[in-house]
Amino acid sequence: MNHSVTKNILVITEFRDKVLLPISLELIACAHQIEKLTSSHTTALVLGRPDESILQKISQTGTDVLALHIDGWRHIDALSARKAITCALSHSPDIVIAGNTPLGIEIIPGLSIEMNASCISGVCDVNITPDEKLVFNRNIWGGKLTASVISNQDKVMLTVQPGSFHRIPECGKPLGHIRRENISVEKVGSFLKSRAFPSKETESSFDDADVIVAAGRGIQAPENLKKIEAFSKRFNRSAVAGSRPLIDAGWLPYRCQVGITGKTVSPNLYIACGISGSSQHVYGMAGSDFIVSINSDPNAAIFQISDVCIVSDVIAFIDTFIHLEEA
C-alpha cells in the first residue's frame, strides 16, 4: 500500500438493542493504530436504527460517525448490510475494518470482491515496514505462529480477531462529527424482508462482561459448576465461561467456550479455574486485562500468562473465598 496520500478507513461497528458491542471499540482501536502508523482518517459506520447514545459513545472516541438509516430495518443481515455499504459510500474507503464475527465474516469477503480489494481475516495486530507498507498480523496454526501479511492491492478489507485490540475509551480528542444519512429500501433491495433474530444459542453475556470466570476440567464434576456460578455472581457484570472439554462433555453450551474454536474475550478480569493453559485456550483469553488462575499444579502453563497465580484445589479456594466474603 502507498501511504503518501491520506487513506480513508471505514469501521463497520456492531450494536445490539441499545448497546454498542465491545468489538466496535476494538475495531476503532485498530483503526486508530493505523492512523498512528499512516496518514489516514477513520469513519465509523453504524448501520440500522441505533440509539442516539451509541452514536455519542463512538463520537466520544474522537471518531467521525456515519449513521446509515434504512426505514423498517431493525436487524442487520449481512447481504443487506453489504448492499447498503456499497450504495452509501460515495468515496470508496481504502481500508475497511470489521469484526471477525458472524457479521464481519459474511460481509467482508463479498465486499472485497466488489471493491477489488485484498481480504485479510483474523487480524490481531498492525505494523508498518520501513518503506511504509502496512503489515497485518494474524495467528495461524492454532496461535503457535504469526503470519505477517502485506496487501498487494491498494485497498484492503480486514476482519479483526475479537480481543486483539484494547477497546478505545472516551479520549481527550475532540468529539467526532456525526453524519446521518437515509437510504431507501428500494436501493438496498429485497433482502430487507429477512430479519435475523439472535437465537438463544448465539446470545452471550460475554460481550458485556467485565469479569469472566472460566471453568476447566480441574473443577472435576458438573455439579461444581454451581460453585463457579456462585463465585461469578460475587462480581458485577460477570459471566461464566469454560474450556473445550467442558463444552464437549455437555456441561456448558458451546457459546460459553473460550479459545481458538470458541470465543476470543478480553474482559477486565479473567479468572481461570482449573484450566491448564493449552495454546488453544490461551488464544481466546490472553488479551484479558488481568488474569487470575487457580490450579492445583504449581507448574501449570496458565500461570505463565497470569497476573495472580493461586496454587490450590479450585473448589476449596472458592468455598473459602465465599465463606470469608460472607463472614
Ligand X SMILES: Cc1cc2nc3c(=O)[nH]c(=O)nc-3n(C[C@H](O)[C@H](O)[C@H](O)COP(=O)(O)OP(=O)(O)OC[C@H]3O[C@@H](n4cnc5c(N)ncnc54)[C@H](O)[C@@H]3O)c2cc1C
Q: Which is nearer to ligand X, 59 or 164 (CB)?
A: 164
Q: Which is nearer to ligand X, 54 or 315 (CB)?
A: 315
The rounded distance, in Å, linking the Cα atoms of 309 and 293 is 5
Instruction: Give the Cβ contact number of residue 188 at 10 Å.
Output: 22
DSSP string, 261-308: TSB----SEEEEES----HHHHHHHTT-SEEEEEES-TT-GGGGG-SE
Among residues 281, 287, 293, 318, the one that binds ligand X under rule CB under 6 A:
281
Does 114 interact with ligand X (rule: CB under 6 A)?
no
Q: Would you say 40 and 169 are in contact if contact means Cβ atoms under 8 Å apart?
A: no
Q: Is 210 helix (H, G, I), strand (E, B) or coil?
A: coil
Q: How far is the CB of 273 from ligand X (least distance, A)?
A: 7
Q: Which is nearer to ligand X, 48 or 218 (CB)?
A: 218
Q: How far is the CB of 167 from ligand X (least distance, A)?
A: 22
Q: Which is nearer to ligand X, 93 or 216 (CB)?
A: 216
Q: How far is the CB of 163 from ligand X (least distance, A)?
A: 13
Q: Which is nearer to ligand X, 77 or 313 (CB)?
A: 313
**Amino acid found at 128:** I
Q: Which is nearer to ligand X, 123 or 314 (CB)?
A: 314
Q: Would you say 298 and 311 are in contact if contact means Cβ atoms under 8 Å apart?
A: yes
DSSP string, 127-154: EE-TT--EEEEEEETTTTEEEEE--SSS
Name all contacts of 132-137 with Cβ < 8 Å and 24+ positions apart: 132/2, 132/3, 132/38, 133/1, 134/1, 134/3, 134/34, 134/37, 134/38
Q: How far is the CB of 119 from ligand X (least distance, A)?
A: 24
The rounded distance, in Å, linking the Cα atoms of 193 and 79 is 11
Q: How far is the CB of 239 from ligand X (least distance, A)?
A: 16
Residue entry with cell 502496512: 134
**Count of residues interacting with ligand X (CB under 6 A):** 26
Residue nearest to ligand X (CB): 259
Q: How far is the CB of 245 from ligand X (least distance, A)?
A: 5
Q: Give the bridge partners for 211, in sequence order.
A: 238, 269
Site stretch for ligand X (CB under 6 A), options 26-34, 50-58, 229-237, 292-300 = 292-300
Q: How far is the CB of 176 from ligand X (least distance, A)?
A: 36
Q: How far is the CB of 141 from ligand X (least distance, A)?
A: 10
Q: Which is nearer to ligand X, 72 or 298 (CB)?
A: 298
Residue ranges in 293-322 that form contacts with ligand X under rule CB under 6 A: 294-297, 300, 313-314
DSSP class of residue 222 equals G
Q: Which is nearer to ligand X, 35 or 313 (CB)?
A: 313
Between strands 178-183 and 64-70, the pairing is parallel
Residue ranges in 182-241 that form contacts with ligand X under rule CB under 6 A: 216-218, 220
DSSP class of residue 63 equals -
Query: In degrees to the nearest 10, what's the CA dihedral of 253, 254, 256, 259?
Result: 150
Residue ranges in 8-27 that form contacts with ligand X under rule CB under 6 A: none
Q: Which is nearer to ligand X, 89 or 225 (CB)?
A: 225
User: Which of 325, 280, 317, 5 lies closest to 143, judged by CA?
Assistant: 280
**Interface map 240-279 toward ligand X (x if CB under 6 A):** ---xxx-----------x-xxxx-----------xxx-x-
Residues that bind ligand X (CB under 6 A): 216-218, 220, 243-245, 257, 259-262, 274-276, 278, 280-281, 284, 294-297, 300, 313-314
